[in-house]
Amino acid sequence: MNEKITIPNHIGIIVDGNGRWAEQRGLSRSAGHRAGFTRLKNICLYAERLGLKYLSLYVFSTENFKRKKVEVDFLMNLFVEVFKKEFQELMDHHVKVVFSGRREPLPYNVLKVMDEISEKTKNNTSTVLNFCLNYGSQAEILDMTRNIAKQVLDGSLSIDDITLDTIHNNLYQDLPPLDLVIRTSGELRLSNFMLYQASYAEFYFPNIYFPDFMENDFWDAIVEFNRRNRRFGGNQS
């Protein structure tokens, strides 16, 4: 019997294990990041083929700026290269690209390519790819709080009118809640990824470094998601 598999509405991937994948092979961490991004592109195309509506990809955290400058610089250049090179294919598949994160202290060339790709894909109607780049959930909550406080101070919002919608509207992007969060590499933590949006997400932690994370592994995560019984605080259905 073929069970009907439901594709979740919003999946998040914490892209992890590029460095260990490379070290295991005697390669540089840069080679691991490059392999990770090639894989990520294929996973994005697969998600689009499956008809996934929203895919959030954690590719660089606010805390990742603590890494050695040579690794940070490599990653920044890789973002520029990848977004330039893959742009046409994203367009061909009608994928919409948005970014979550702080602009400061991203270099100008990265911000430029981010702005270009979001502007050019903004009317696309297929999968929304939300790249979390220089993203931290705590920073997002702090920025949201400051925005709301400003509106209260300038009189455009009264405290009694602050609702969950106000919070939603002041986050970096207008996205539905996460249904499924996948973290590769075997680590069992969120590392500051979409804490608010993941309130009722299901979690899946495959023991695979991201450059080895294949389409069938992504599918396995979706199948496992279908086995979960989500209750949202209500009674067992």
Nearer to ligand IPE, 59 or 171 (CB): 59
Tokens for 116, please give them: 């270009």
Binder among 8, 11, 14, 16 for Mg ion (CB under 5 A) = 16
Of 64, 77, 124, 147, which is the active-site residue? 64
Under the binding rule (CB under 6 A), the answer on residue 130 touching ligand IPE is no
CA distance 97 to 120: 9
59: partner contacted, choices Mg ion, ligand IPE, none (Cβ within 5-8 A by kind)? ligand IPE
As measured in angstroms, the least distance from the Cβ of 3 to ligand IPE is 32
Which residue do the tokens 């396995």 mark? 220
DSSP letters of 143-179? HHHHHHHHHHHTTSS-GGG--HHHHHHTSSS--PPPS
Question: Within its chain, how far is the Cα of 10 from the centroid?
Answer: 10
DSSP state of 60: E
State yes or no: is 16 an active-site residue: yes
CA distance 52 to 50: 6
Under the binding rule (CB under 6 A), the answer on residue 187 touching ligand IPE is yes
State yes or no: is 235 an active-site residue: no
Under the binding rule (CB under 6 A), the answer on residue 191 touching ligand IPE is yes
Q: Which residues carry out catalysis?
A: 16, 64
Query: Which residues lie near ligand IPE (CB under 6 A)?
Result: 14-20, 58-61, 64, 75, 185, 187, 189, 191
